[in-house]
Structure 1
């Protein structure tokens, strides 16, 4: 089966990761990376895969022959370029790792990224342009558009809105709704519905007034 041609928007470490997993574990082959011409730096470009300008791509590459993936972590920037490519008629690719755990009734939009560490129960829906890293998502959960879930865990029947961020080791109780534009920081526990634009942070780790040698001598013999 002939592989589909993919252009990746982005040039950072996430874009490099995206290129690797698409080529190792999908029906796509990466033809090029692209970025705006003003941001291009060909002198320091190290990848064997070509780097082209966004302007050239939109002008010279056909929507019939190329798919796009927007490999940007920032939700707002990723949303901007997702909409730009859609307005120009391009189809956006999804990556769902064959090493993640998921079920056949998983419902997805476009430009979805689900990595190898994710565990997804049945009856999950994920909206356009959302990214999941190493997360456990409970049954009947709905994740909105342009959101990023990183190393988090939800109970069943959770609703996460559009443009949300949920950080490492954050937990969301079953039947909870996380409103649009919510930011749930690393280590937070959400037990009540959130409101629009709310930000949650967990109290940081406290540095002890004792050094590691003292701990070793007292407790680790």
Structure 2
């Protein structure tokens, strides 16, 4: 089967990882990379051409190539959202990656420019918008909705009937109880437990672990 050729926006770790996943576990072939001109420090990345974003459409025309925006959660996903819209305005189809090693049981497919890695469990009736990153090992409970421009890190539990509004970051091992609605631009730190709905621009930080003065060799296990 002939693979659809794509260009990845980015030249950092996430772009490198995206290239690996697309090349090894999808029907897409990565042919090049692009970033804003000020961030070009070489003419190649991962052995493939790295071109300025302001000229990418002349080198990789949007009627022949797709694109994936490989940017982190910087500024609560707003930088990724900005480049997402700029690429669409250039006419690019933005592709999504859904790992073959995820368990995707929902009858609703995700939107465009999603990055869903291995060991995610996505239960029936879940709806995932566009430009959403689900790092590895998350549980997305039935009937939950993850709206556009979100970043869910690893081993997060989102229980049933939850709603995640746009521009949120949810840290490693955070847990959301059933029927929780998270407002726009929430920052939920690693290990936080959310049992009630959250207003926009809320920041949730769990209690810190306590360092005991006792040495480990004095504790009987």
- Indicate whether the TM-score tops 0.5: yes
Asked if residue 138 in structure 1 is aligned to residue 137 in structure 2, the reply is: no
Paired with 1:73 and 1:208, the residues of 2 have a C-alpha distance of 35
Task: After TM superposition, give the deviation of residue 117 of structure 1 in Å.
Answer: 2.2
In structure 1, the partner of 2:220 is 219
User: 96-105 or 16-25, which moves further after superposition?
Assistant: 96-105
In structure 1, the partner of 2:93 is 91
Paired with 2:146 and 2:87, the residues of 1 have a C-alpha distance of 22
- Asked if the contact 2:106–2:126 (Cα under 8 Å) also holds between the matched residues in 1, the reply is no
CA RMSD between the two structures:
1.5
- Asked if the contact 2:33–2:45 (Cα under 8 Å) also holds between the matched residues in 1, the reply is no
Structure 2 matches for 1:121-136, cutoff 5 A? 121-134=123-136, 135-136=138-139
Task: After TM superposition, give the deviation of residue 106 of structure 1 in Å.
Answer: 3.1
* TM-score, with structure 1 as normaliser: 0.93
In structure 1, the partner of 2:158 is 154
Task: After TM superposition, give the deviation of residue 101 of structure 1 in Å.
Answer: 0.7
> Moved runs in structure 1, 4+ residues, more than 6 A?
none
- Structure 2 segments unaligned to the other structure (5+ residues): none
Task: After TM superposition, give the deviation of residue 102 of structure 1 in Å.
Answer: 0.9
Paired with 1:156 and 1:73, the residues of 2 have a C-alpha distance of 26
Q: For 1:165-191, what per-residue CA distance to the aligned partner results, in whole angstroms no more than 9, with x for missing partners?
A: 111110011111111111111111111
1:169 to 168, 173, 176: 173
- Secondary structure of 1:50's match? strand
* TM-score, with structure 2 as normaliser: 0.93
- Secondary structure of 1:107's match? coil
2:192 to 188, 195, 208: 188
